[in-house]
Amino acid sequence: MKKQKLNRQKKLLYDVICAKEYRPMRGKEIAILLDVPKAKRTNMLAVLDQLVVEGKIKQNKKGQYVKCKLPKLGKLEALKEEHRKKKVKQFLKQGRFISHHDGFGFVELEEEEADDIFIPRDGVADAFHHDLVEVEVKPNQTGKRMEGRIVRIVERDVTSIIGTYEDCGNFGFVVPDNTRYTKDIFVSREKADHAQTGDKVMVSILKYGGPNQKPEGKITEILGASGTPGIDVLSIARGYDLPMEFSEKVMAQAAKTKDTLIPGDFQGRKDLRDWTVVTIDGEDAKDLDDGISLTKEGDIYHLGVHIADVSNYVQYHSAMDKEALKRGTSVYLVDRVIPMLPKRLSNGICSLNQGEDRLALSCLMDINARGEVISHEIAETVICVNRRMTYTNVKKIVLEEDAQVTEEYKELVPMFFLMKELSAIIRANRSKRGSIDFDFPESKIELNELGKPVRIYPYEQSVATKIIEDFMLIANETVAKEYCLAELPFVYRTHDNPDPEKMEATLTFIRAQGFDVKKSKEEISPKEIQKAMEQIKDSPKEALISRLLLRSMKQARYTTDCSGHFGLAAKYYCHFTSPIRRYPDLQIHRIIKDNLRGRLNKEKQDAYWEILDDVAKQSSAMERRAEEVERETNKLKKAEYMQDHIGEVYDGVISGVTGWGIYVELPNTVEGLVHMTQMKDDYYTYDDINHQLVGEREKKVYGLGQQVRIRVMDADIINKTVDFALETE
92-132: per-residue pLDDT in tens?
888 999 998 888 999 988 665 567 899 998 899 889 998 99
The mean pLDDT value for 536-558 works out to 83
Query: Looking at the domain 2-67, which fold is it?
Result: Arc Repressor Mutant, subunit A (1.10.10)
- pLDDT-derived band at 33 (thresholds 50, 70, 90) equals confident
To which CATH superfamily is domain 645-726 assigned?
Nucleic acid-binding proteins (2.40.50.140)
- DSSP-assigned letters across all residues of 547-615: HHHHHTSPPPEEESS---BTTTTBSS----S-TTTBHHHHHHHHHHHHHHTT---HHHHHHHHHHHHHH
Cβ atoms of residues 197 and 166 within 8 Å: yes
pLDDT value of residue 683: 86
d(CA 705, CA 247): 49
Cβ atoms of residues 101 and 182 within 8 Å: yes
d(CA 634, CA 158): 24
d(CA 116, CA 62): 46
Identical fold at 75-155 and 645-726?
yes
Instruction: Tell me the CATH number of domain 75-155, given options 1.20.120.80, 2.40.50.140, 3.40.50.10240, 1.20.1050.10.
Output: 2.40.50.140
d(CA 72, CA 32): 33
CB neighbourhood size of 617 (10 A): 15
pLDDT value of residue 90: 54
The mean pLDDT value for 383-412 works out to 96
The mean pLDDT value for 336-354 works out to 96
Q: How far is CA 545 from the centre of its chain?
A: 24
- pLDDT-derived band at 79 (thresholds 50, 70, 90) equals low
pLDDT value of residue 74: 57
Query: Of all residues in the chain, what percent carry a pLDDT higher than 70?
Result: 95
CA distances from 266 to 6, 233, 261, 312 (A): 44, 43, 8, 12
pLDDT value of residue 414: 97
pLDDT value of residue 690: 75
Relative to beta strand 387-390, strand 278-281 is parallel
Strands annotated E in 11-53: none
522 Cβ contact list (under 8 Å, min separation 6): 500
Question: At 689, phi and psi to the nearest 5?
Answer: -75, -45
* pLDDT tens digit sequence for 317-342: 999 999 999 999 999 999 999 999 99
What SS3 state is found at 56?
coil
What are the residue ranges spanned by the domains of the chain? Answer: 2-67, 75-155, 160-226, 248-493+565-629, 498-553, 645-726
Q: Where are the alpha helices (DSSP H) in 434-578?
A: 463-485, 500-512, 526-536, 542-551
126 Cβ contact list (under 8 Å, min separation 6): 153, 208, 209, 210, 211, 215
The mean pLDDT value for 208-233 works out to 89
Cβ atoms of residues 396 and 453 within 8 Å: no
Handedness of CA 604, 607, 611, 613 (dihedral sign): positive
Cβ atoms of residues 385 and 277 within 8 Å: yes
Lowest-pLDDT choice from 51-55, 207-211, 504-508, 674-678: 51-55
The mean pLDDT value for 563-583 works out to 96
pLDDT value of residue 3: 63
Q: What share of the chain is helix, strand, coil (3-state, %, to 5)?
A: 35, 30, 35
The mean pLDDT value for 460-474 works out to 95
Q: Of 621, 624, 626, 693, which Cα lies nearest the Cα of 662?
A: 693
DSSP structural state of residue 495: B
d(CA 668, CA 456): 6
- pLDDT-derived band at 70 (thresholds 50, 70, 90) equals low
More confident residue, 82 or 124: 124
pLDDT value of residue 598: 95
pLDDT value of residue 1: 40
Cβ atoms of residues 692 and 541 within 8 Å: no
| Element of type H or E holding 416 | helix 413-433
d(CA 330, CA 669): 24
Query: Looking at the domain 160-226, which fold is it?
Result: OB fold (Dihydrolipoamide Acetyltransferase, E2P) (2.40.50)
Cβ atoms of residues 307 and 361 within 8 Å: yes
pTM over 0.85? The answer is no
SS3 of 112-124: CCCCCEEECHHHC
Average pLDDT of the chain to the nearest whole number: 90
β-bridge partners, 66 = 58
pLDDT value of residue 142: 59
Asked if the model's pLDDT at residue 558 lies above 50, the reply is yes
* pLDDT tens digit sequence for 158-175: 899 999 999 998 899 999
C-alpha radius of gyration, the chain, whole number? 29
Lowest-pLDDT choice from 117-121, 246-250, 270-274, 634-638: 117-121
The mean pLDDT value for 52-63 works out to 81
- DSSP-assigned letters across all residues of 340-380: SS-HIIIIIITS--TTSEEEEEEEEEEE-TTS-EEEEEEEE
- DSSP-assigned letters across all residues of 669-715: S-EEEEEGGG-TTS-EEEETTTTEEEETTT--EEETT-EEEEEEEEE
